[in-house]
Structure 1
Amino acid sequence: MVVANTPAKPTTSLDHLVIKTPCTMDWGLMDGDNRKRFCSRCEKHVYDVSQMTRDEALELFAGDGTICAKIYRRPDGTIVTSECPPQEKKLAKRRLQFSIGALIALLTASAGVFATSPWIVRTVQPIVGKWFPSKNPKPTVTMGSMCVMGDVICVEPTEDTP
């Protein structure tokens, strides 16, 4: 929280405010709302600029006299107002996007590894078969049946063929 002495003429930019005297009073101990509170020690209203629009803050500082205000100044010198997107939200959004991207990459790589593993067919295929039964069931194989695979040709029966 700071006390800013403002000139009588309107300030064109909040970023050029001159902070004369810092105040040690705790904002949480003052009566009021998030935008304006009353300091019982100096008997003045204290304004939180971060809860105001830029135009509202400029209008506040355009008046005569000393204004007591709570401000947040970014490293680049700009003063935070309610119109400014919070930096924390931007960082949180970037972290979330990075985490989702990393998760997708991990899942894609894992799916590739599992799809090429021979044990996956033996382990997962029976489970999938229970959940999604085939529309064309395989013929049942009886005892003594033999399975032969290979190229099939059609041979005309001859008199010697039983």
Structure 2
Amino acid sequence: MQQLRISIPKPCTQNWADLSPAEKGRYCSSCQKEVIDFRGWTADELQDWFANSNGRVCGRLSQKQLDYFKPKEVRHEGWSFSAKVLLASSLALLTSSKVYSNTFAKSDSAIHQNTNEKGSKIKEEAKPSDSLIIIKGIITAKEDKLPLPDVSIFLKNSSVSGSTGDNGRFTLQVKATPGQKLLLEFKCLGYATKELEITPESVAQELELEMAFSDEGLTMGAVVVSYRRYPLHKRIWNFIKSPFVKHR
């Protein structure tokens, strides 16, 4: 198995906003190449794409993406280190099993008691005036006004979240009381994070939001791809996890 390494040794100094729109990103007239916008790609997508690509390409990646594919330092402790880890794990498992068996009866009754207490508290704290509201909106890129997909939307101080589709639109269902202030946070790789405060009364119409590029932590230029063979113990572990997957 091989470890993919991606780097941009000589970053380009061209301004991304000045480049012409292209199918996969922007076209640079200076080097006569299309610059692929990889910012929203996951690690698996990058791994698959570069594994099947030929030659160098020009791309735009975030620093987090480049850091993920940096060469990893391999520590050569040998099998003795693995044996130590296995022994420590076994001892910890035995100890935790004894502690768990001794405290199971007590914790079981305590859990039932706490569950009942939590249930009563939830009933007491429930607000009958809460109503379900639907928040709809569309997010576009400020530079070209095109719909922006894969934007993550979070309702702060809650577990409510969502994301935009290919058309840049999103829908959230939220419980709120009249006049309650709700803070939405919008995040997208390569774009500056935005926040928007709304109330249930202000979401009668579809929200419209623009997000601008964030040049912080972005690198553009010729992408150099290389491979480094994983150590034996990691190849064995990856085979155990995915025995039917062809590993490079």
Q: Could you say which TM-score interval applies, normalised by the shorter chain?
A: 0.3 to 0.5
Q: Given the two structures, how large is their TM-score scaled by the length of structure 2?
A: 0.25
Structure of larger gyration radius = 1
Q: Which has the higher contact order (CA 8 A, sep 6+)?
A: 2
Greater helix fraction, Structure 1 or Structure 2: 1
Q: Which has the higher strand share?
A: 2
